Structure 1
Amino acid sequence: MPDKFDTSLPPFDCLSDSQQQRLRDALDVAYFRAGETIIEADEACQQLYIIIKGSVEERAADGQEIFAHYTADDLFDVRAQLDARSRHHYQALEDTLCYLLPREHFIALYQSNSQFAAYFDGNLAQRQQLLDEAHQQQNLAEFILTKISDDNIQPCLIVPHDTNLTAVTQAMRDKRVDAALVKLNATPQYGIVTRTNLLHAVLLDSLPASTPVSQVATTPVISVNKGDFLFNAMLAMTRHKVKRVQVLDGDNVAGMLDLTQVLSLFSTHSHVLTLRIARAKTIDELALAAGSQHRLVETLFNNGIHTLFVMELIATVNEQIIEKAFQLVVPPEMHDRCCLIVMGSEGRGEQILKTDQDNALILQDGIDWPGCAQVMARLTQTLHQLGYPLCPGKVMVNNPQWVKPQSEWLHTLSDFVQAGTENAVMALAILADSHAVAGNRALLSPLQTHLHQLLADQELLLATFTRPALQFSVPLTLFGKLKTGKEGLDIKRGGIFPIVHGIRALALEHAIADNNTFARIDQLTRCRVLEPETASNLSEALKLFIKLRLRQQLGQQQDPQSRGMQQHLDISVLSRAERDLLRHSLHVVKKFKEWLGYHYQIRD
């Protein structure tokens, strides 16, 4: 047939050129009138159907349950090709035109091409991976997926702790390196010394050349593991503001990676952005640096970088922007006497583009700070200037309700749990995702511990806490079709929120300290709260929702009127494979909500 058949769509893009040609040669075309039965339940099915135009309904054999509607580019009945018999009834809802692929040709392709077979066999994670591979570009993506290996590790000089400065300098010159690891007494710990450290020790600190190098070495040394992604080395350097990381192979030192080497492979200049943030001396300078964050997201996303990598990098950059704003606005003498925390998606490390501010301040007990309210008002306005919109619910440090001494916060958490009202539960949900970003970060830990202790045996409260996850309906019709309103498909309420909030409730129930939803899912799997397949499907569904939403947000970024629509998806711009994945992912959410209702005995 049909040379017109589009083999660029997954899973047909997995086929070789010769397999694609055999596919085209085997295809036929059939026409079905509205109301006509295409496949009878419990009968042999001799071909795979690929819709050219029209609409088809899938029903149970007894006609009592509708499973799905199919439209242009959708295919059915795959299960019947493998079982040789169809379990369900398929009927044309309107005049429909289909490609027909004979069963024997489908089976031949299925048996000879593992990627083609994986698309039909796999769970949601495998299908998403195949779609990502189909869309992924090279260049930057190749860097992201490059692993730390002997090809990119630099050998490093290791010296004993009692080596004097002269000997270390001589060894570094002989080896032509600008840094060395120092083996400390506390095995297997290491320190690091650079040419700059040696220069400062001799010229600025006037230390004698016989001084043991351990006295000028810096600790701890940030480490990454051989076999890890090279991108993680970039994240480690960005997060800890260092230019070198130690590479470990098990318990042994395999070598070193430095910033210059990594930047030569990585062209998005994320570290350059963080350096600009660190060097900013005024809010205006910080705003200029923060303004380039959007371009970084766009570059990474448009080059096919995995959503989780983008999320982790941008979470780190966001944290550094907010921390720098805190340092510029809050008087230095107060930095160690209070702690700025962020909540919501920022607290979970799941914010990619800037969203509404959700923050609070923990004050050290017993301090007297008369100007606190004025400083916090200025901080809120500064963050607004840096691109973080004001929170409509006023969950910000310019609201006195979100600025309290540590002991008062502890009492507040207890009061929220005791009250158990809708507003109290909402406040608990917000605080459950707290993450310290500036000031004395140790002030947050007792609050997190107290919250987990309070909720450990509160089954009734956890049921109330979880109920909002079941409040919004999944955007699927009774017929299993994607459901959209005038503004599009509400992916935030119908997809993202049920997963995030449901997993948050389970994490609190089981005293899991992680804030990030993906880390919480992993921990819940380790605790055997979630089955591995369920956990994998939930993670992949959430990644898909975030990715599709981000793509639309990037497209709408130039239109200030579109901000309110950013949680809605325009499914008309999605490919057939993306619609299929979205529908599958929403069914995952639907099953998860049913499981949550059963788990917490929630009756509506």
Structure 2
Amino acid sequence: MSMHDLEAFLRSIHPFQLLSKAEMAKAIGAMNIAYYKKETLLLSPSKPAEFLYIIIKGEVGEFHEEELLKVYSKSNSFDADALIYAKSENSFKVLEELICYELKKEDFLSLLDSNKTFKAYFIQDLANKIQSAKAKEYTTELSGFMMARVQDSYLHEPTIVEKECSIMEALRQMEAKKSSCIIVRSGEGYEYGIVTDSVVRRHVLFNEYDKHAAIGPIALHPIITIEADDYLFNALLSFTKHSIKRIVVTRDGEIIGILEQLDLLSYFANHTYLVAVQIRKATTIDELKQASSDLISIVHKLHVKGTKVDYIAKLISEINEKIYEKLYAMIVPEELATKACLIVMGSEGRKEQLLKTDQDNALIIDDAMDESLYIPYMQRFTATLIAFGFPRCEGNIMVSNPYWCKHKSAYHKEIVRWFDAPSMEDVMNLAIFFDAIPVAGNASMLRSLKAEVFEYVEEQSPFLANFAKAATAFETPIGIFTNLIAQNNKIDVKKGGIFPIVQGIRALALEHKIEPTDTVTRIKKLAKLDIIDADFAGALIEALDTLLNLRLKERLARGEEKGLDNFVNIENLNQLELELLKDSFKIVNKFKKFLTHHFKLSMVI
């Protein structure tokens, strides 16, 4: 192998691509090729490590006493820990004739000292190793934006006046500071309102409000704010969700500037906000359909630019919710629409839906209303969403199904029944309902029903064990030697990893009355409550992100026309992705053990 080929080989192995040109040359110069016969003992608790081994051909087994823990093969390296900590609790034995590169201990440690990022990989825990590996896989020109804070963007100086200030005086101050809006302090402390050009025009020019009168009465409340050290991407989410042109930036509750939509879009050259504007301005169903038609393109562009799956999902969810809300208003007469609550559930409710997967929606109807009046509108609603590209739900969990379109009191009866000796179908119905969020109509209906769910959990503690047990229903597709278990080179990452994490965290969230619906936020809340160790919480988040990302990559490569299943073809994964997948499944298995202990699942029949 030439020097050029050797460098290419090493740079294909994480984290060697983190080495500088000079460091790589130093590593290559210090390496030797070695050959070992089968059964050769390379290192053990009594045989100190001398080299970092990088396999060219063959296999090496890692043993704890007589138990085989892991098998290393081509492109794998071992055992950095033995070199760093000068000891090994395990033994490494050649299983198949081995050809490998050897890097002496002193040369390896020298590389660690010269490159902090390279060193950090080897001393991190599993969760951080996954995160570090992802950084290599997904670093692109967008990564700067993803890490950018609001305070990194251009902020306009705010014009802040008291509520007694006259409109004319406020406008003079606004002009002097070249501001685009006026912030009105409307009470003691940090209670503010906002006045924009359009507000002034509406009140002064069209409603003939006295321009010398106090500005307080025309200010809009509440203002939308974001902390200066928050991510710019979250500002984009707020612009999209609230359909606003500016957001007030605060630091520890104090206003420090105004972030304008145009400034943000100049930083983030993408048309997701424009799609939200098109949805808002749509006056016909055809216009709404056109506005929603480019979501797959947006997902693809964000993904290839390295955007984290969690961010993509939240952004797409905000857009999808706007589509639902607008379509509901277009189809359902106002006198009916306000007397019901349209909800989305499952992955949509958790804000984890990335593509137009099947619908999970329902309607809660005021008990005083005639239920039959809603049926034709809900049938049309479902049919229109299908025409928009949202497939029909295979389980018929849609507003066109009378089971998911009924009075609030009927849902109350269902909640009672779900908790009373539930079937597996009842367990999953409660699970998707627990993930529900309101998108249109009277949101208080859903809030009161969810409050009932929490009340019944307290009274039905044995239910939680059965609820959590669903997370262990599917085998994790990884063997005892950390080999991936695939059928026809395909692995169902939903059954193997995504569902166990989502359902297990959902059970813990239900137990501890955690209201947010998205899995990542639930994990963070559980960590704050010390239910899950903080480091392990990070590991779960990284594992879920890996599994969702690999599934999304497969779906985008395959195209919508071939279906949106949950299989990932491991032949399409590079070496790094294979390692990420293995590490993620290890975390899933560890989480299943946690759930088994926490809910005493071994006692559940």
Q: TM-score, normalised by structure 1?
A: 0.95
> Cα–Cα, structure 1 residues 184 and 47, in superposed 2: closer, same or farther, change >3 Å?
same
What residue number does 1:99 align with? 101
How many residue pairs align between the two structures?
599
Q: Deviation digits for residues 413-437 of structure 1, max 9, x if unmatched?
A: 0111013222221211121111111
Q: What CA distance in whole angstroms lies between the structure 2 residues aligned with 1:86 and 1:491?
A: 33
Deviation larger for 20-29 or 69-78: 69-78
What residue number does 2:316 align with? 314
Q: Which runs of 5+ in 2 are unaligned?
A: none
Please tell me whether the aligned partners of residues 456 and 511 of structure 1 are also in contact (alpha carbons under 8 angstroms).
no
1:54 to partner: Cα distance: 2.9
Q: What CA distance in whole angstroms lies between the structure 2 residues aligned with 1:171 and 1:561?
A: 59
Q: Deviation digits for residues 509-558 of structure 1, max 9, x if unmatched?
A: 11111111111111111111111111111111111111111111111115
Query: Is residue 592 of structure 2 the alignment partner of residue 593 of structure 1?
Result: yes
1:41 to partner: Cα distance: 5.5
Q: Secondary structure at the match of 2:564?
A: helix
Match of 1:427 among 426, 429, 452: 429
1:7 to partner: Cα distance: 3.7
Deviation larger for 234-243 or 208-217: 208-217
Q: How does 1:284-363 map to 2 (within 5 A)?
A: 284-363=286-365
Please tell me whether the aligned partners of residues 72 and 576 of structure 1 are also in contact (alpha carbons under 8 angstroms).
no
Please tell me whether the aligned partners of residues 46 and 84 of structure 1 are also in contact (alpha carbons under 8 angstroms).
no
Please tell me whether the aligned partners of residues 371 and 407 of structure 2 are also in contact (alpha carbons under 8 angstroms).
no
1:137 to partner: Cα distance: 4.2
Query: Is residue 66 of structure 2 the alignment partner of residue 55 of structure 1?
Result: no
What residue number does 1:539 align with? 541
1:131 to partner: Cα distance: 2.2
Q: Deviation digits for residues 28-84 of structure 1, max 9, x if unmatched?
A: 1123445554445532221111122333322222x2x22112222111122222233
Q: How does 1:139-288 map to 2 (within 5 A)?
A: 139-149=141-151, 152-288=154-290
Q: What CA distance in whole angstroms lies between the structure 2 residues aligned with 1:285 and 1:95?
A: 65
Residue identity in the other structure for 1:133 = A
Match of 2:23 among 5, 19, 26: 19
Q: Which runs of 5+ in 1 are unaligned?
A: none
Q: What CA distance in whole angstroms lies between the structure 1 residues aligned with 2:264 and 2:315?
A: 15
> Cα–Cα, structure 1 residues 562 and 99, in superposed 2: closer, same or farther, change >3 Å?
farther
Deviation larger for 548-557 or 134-143: 134-143
1:505 to partner: Cα distance: 0.5
Q: How does 1:18-37 map to 2 (within 5 A)?
A: 18-34=22-38, 36-37=40-41
Please tell me whether the aligned partners of residues 456 and 508 of structure 1 are also in contact (alpha carbons under 8 angstroms).
no
Q: What CA distance in whole angstroms lies between the structure 2 residues aligned with 1:281 and 1:518?
A: 36
Q: Deviation digits for residues 339-390 of structure 1, max 9, x if unmatched?
A: 1111111111111112111111101121125331111111111111122111
> Cα–Cα, structure 1 residues 538 and 179, in superposed 2: closer, same or farther, change >3 Å?
same
Deviation larger for 93-102 or 449-458: 93-102
What residue number does 2:510 align with? 508
Q: Secondary structure at the match of 2:420?
A: helix
Please tell me whether the aligned partners of residues 455 and 462 of structure 1 are also in contact (alpha carbons under 8 angstroms).
yes
Q: Deviation digits for residues 80-101 of structure 1, max 9, x if unmatched?
A: 2223343333334434322211
Match of 2:50 among 28, 41, 46: 46
Q: What CA distance in whole angstroms lies between the structure 2 residues aligned with 1:107 and 1:457?
A: 58
Residue identity in the other structure for 1:193 = V
Q: What CA distance in whole angstroms lies between the structure 2 residues aligned with 1:563 and 1:238?
A: 26
What residue number does 1:563 align with? 564
Match of 2:528 among 526, 529, 550: 526
Please tell me whether the aligned partners of residues 474 and 495 of structure 2 are also in contact (alpha carbons under 8 angstroms).
yes
Please tell me whether the aligned partners of residues 2 and 25 of structure 1 are also in contact (alpha carbons under 8 angstroms).
no
Residue identity in the other structure for 1:456 = E
Please tell me whether the aligned partners of residues 124 and 540 of structure 1 are also in contact (alpha carbons under 8 angstroms).
no
1:186 to partner: Cα distance: 4.5
What residue number does 1:580 align with? 579
Q: Secondary structure at the match of 1:253?
A: strand
Q: Deviation digits for residues 171-228 of structure 1, max 9, x if unmatched?
A: 3233322311111135321111111111111221121222321122111110011121
Please tell me whether the aligned partners of residues 42 and 87 of structure 1 are also in contact (alpha carbons under 8 angstroms).
no
Q: Secondary structure at the match of 1:54?
A: strand
Q: What CA distance in whole angstroms lies between the structure 1 residues aligned with 2:161 and 2:57?
A: 71
Deviation larger for 149-158 or 495-504: 149-158
Match of 1:498 among 480, 488, 500: 500
1:148 to partner: Cα distance: 2.0
Residue identity in the other structure for 2:334 = P
Deviation larger for 479-488 or 431-440: 479-488
Deviation larger for 31-40 or 309-318: 31-40
Please tell me whether the aligned partners of residues 74 and 576 of structure 1 are also in contact (alpha carbons under 8 angstroms).
no
What residue number does 1:388 align with? 390
Q: TM-score, normalised by structure 2?
A: 0.95
Identity %: 34
Q: What CA distance in whole angstroms lies between the structure 2 residues aligned with 1:361 and 1:582?
A: 38
Deviation larger for 7-16 or 258-267: 7-16
1:250 to partner: Cα distance: 1.2
> Cα–Cα, structure 1 residues 573 and 153, in superposed 2: closer, same or farther, change >3 Å?
same
